[in-house]
Chain A
Amino acid sequence: MTGDHSHHGHMHDHEHMHGDGVIHSHPHSHEENHEHHSDCPGEAILRVDGVAFSYKSHSVLEDIEVGVSRGEILAILGPNGVGKSTLLRCMNMILRPQKGAILVDNADLSKMSANDIAKNVGYVAQRSEAARMTVFDSVLLGRKPHISWKLTKEDYAMVEDALAKFGLSSMQLRYIDEISGGELQRVCVCRAIVQEPSVLLLDEPTSALDLSRQMEILHLIRHVVDQHNCATIMTMHDLNLALRFADRFVFMKGGKIYAACDKWGVTPELIQEVYGIEVDVIFHNELPVVIPK
Chain B
Amino acid sequence: MKHDAADYKSYVGKKAGIIIVGIILCVVLFLLTISVGAITIPIPDVIATLLHGPGGTGLFDRALWNIRIPQALTAVVAGAGLAIAGVAMQSVLRNPLASPFTLGLSNAAAFGAAVGILLFGAGTTGSSIADAVVVNNPYLTTICAFVFSLATTAIILAIAKVRGATPETMVLAGVAISSLFSAGLMAIQYFVDDTQLASIVFWQFGDVSRASWSELGLITAVVAVCSLYLFIKRWDFNAIDAGEETAKGLGVNVSRTRLLGMIAASLISAIVVAFLGVIGFVGLVCPHMMRRIVGDDHRFLIPASVICGALLLLAADTVARTIIAPQVLPVAVLTSFLGAPIFIYLIIKGRRM
Mark contacts of B206-237 with chain A using CB atoms, 8 A cut-off: 1 yes-contact digit, 0 otherwise.
Answer: 00000000000000000000000000000110
Check A138–B251 contact: CB distance below 8 A.
no
Name the A residues within 8 Å of B235 (CB-CB): 141, 144, 147
In the bound assembly, the distance between CA atoms of A127 and B297 in angstroms comes to 20
Name the A residues within 8 Å of B9 (CB-CB): 156
Most buried by B among A116, A121, A133, A159: A133
Residue A129 lies at the interface, judged by CB distance under 8 Å to chain B: yes
Mark contacts of B1-40 with chain A using CB atoms, 8 A cut-off: 1 yes-contact digit, 0 otherwise.
Answer: 0011101110100000000000000000000000000000
Check B239–A128 contact: CB distance below 8 A.
no
In the complex, residue of chain B having the shortest beta-carbon distance to the beta carbon of A149: B232
* Known A-B contacts A131-B241, A160-B4; A137 and B250 likewise in contact (beta carbons under 8 Å): no
- Chain A nearest CB from B23 CB (Å) reads 20
Residue A134 lies at the interface, judged by CB distance under 8 Å to chain B: yes
Main secondary structure of the interface of B (DSSP, over half): helix
Mark contacts of A103-126 with chain B using CB atoms, 8 A cut-off: 1 yes-contact digit, 0 otherwise.
Answer: 000000000011111110111110
In the complex, residue of chain A having the shortest beta-carbon distance to the beta carbon of B295: A132
Check A133–B295 contact: CB distance below 8 A.
yes
Check A144–B250 contact: CB distance below 8 A.
yes
Name the A residues within 8 Å of B236 (CB-CB): 144
Check A114–B238 contact: CB distance below 8 A.
no
Among B243, B249, B295, which residue has its beta carbon within 8 angstroms of that of A175? B295
In the bound assembly, the distance between CA atoms of A191 and B247 in angstroms comes to 12
Check A145–B243 contact: CB distance below 8 A.
no
In the bound assembly, the distance between CA atoms of A124 and B246 in angstroms comes to 7
Q: Which of A176-234 contact B (CB under 8 A)?
A: 188, 191-192, 195, 201
Check B238–A141 contact: CB distance below 8 A.
yes
Most buried by A among B236, B242, B252, B295: B242
In the complex, residue of chain B having the shortest beta-carbon distance to the beta carbon of A171: B3
Check A173–B249 contact: CB distance below 8 A.
no
Check A188–B251 contact: CB distance below 8 A.
no
Check A173–B11 contact: CB distance below 8 A.
yes
Residue A169 lies at the interface, judged by CB distance under 8 Å to chain B: yes
- How extensive is the interface on chain A, given as a class? 35 or more
Name the A residues within 8 Å of B251 (CB-CB): 113-119, 144-145
Residue A10 lies at the interface, judged by CB distance under 8 Å to chain B: no
In the bound assembly, the distance between CA atoms of A42 and B26 in angstroms comes to 63
- Chain A nearest CB from B83 CB (Å) reads 18
Check B5–A157 contact: CB distance below 8 A.
yes
Q: Which of A47-105 contact B (CB under 8 A)?
A: 89, 92, 94
Check A141–B250 contact: CB distance below 8 A.
yes
Check A137–B3 contact: CB distance below 8 A.
no
- Chain B nearest CB from A159 CB (Å) reads 7
Check A128–B243 contact: CB distance below 8 A.
yes
Check A94–B238 contact: CB distance below 8 A.
no
In the bound assembly, the distance between CA atoms of A122 and B251 in angstroms comes to 10
Name the B residues within 8 Å of A29 (CB-CB): none
Report, nearest first, the 10 A-B pairs whose CB atoms are least far apart.
A118-B251, A123-B249, A132-B296, A125-B245, A115-B251, A131-B241, A156-B5, A169-B3, A129-B243, A114-B251
| B interface list, Cβ under 8 A from A | 3-5, 7-9, 11, 235-236, 238-239, 241-243, 245-246, 248-253, 291, 295-297, 352
A-B contact pairs, 15 of them (CB 8 A): A92-B248, A114-B248, A118-B249, A122-B249, A123-B245, A123-B248, A131-B242, A133-B242, A133-B296, A134-B11, A137-B238, A144-B238, A145-B250, A145-B251, A191-B242
